[in-house]
Amino acid sequence: MLKADRVGGTVRWRPRRRQGQGYVEYALDIIVVSLLVFMLAQVVAPWVHGMYTAVVDHIAKVIAKI
Q: Enumerate residues 6+ apart whose C-beta is below 8 A from 15.
A: 1, 2
Per the structure, how many domains does the chain have?
A: 1
Q: Model's pTM, two decimal places?
A: 0.41
- If you write DSSP's letter for every residue of the chain in order, what string do you get? -EEEEEETTEEEEEEPP-SS--HHHHHHHHHHHHHHHHHHHHHHHHHHHHHHHHHHHHHHHHHHH-
pLDDT, tens digit (0-9, with 9 covering 90-100), for 20-34: 567 888 888 999 999
**Domain span at 23:** 2-65
What pLDDT, on the 0 to 100 scale, is given for residue 2? 52
Q: Residues in the chain with pLDDT < 70?
A: 1-21
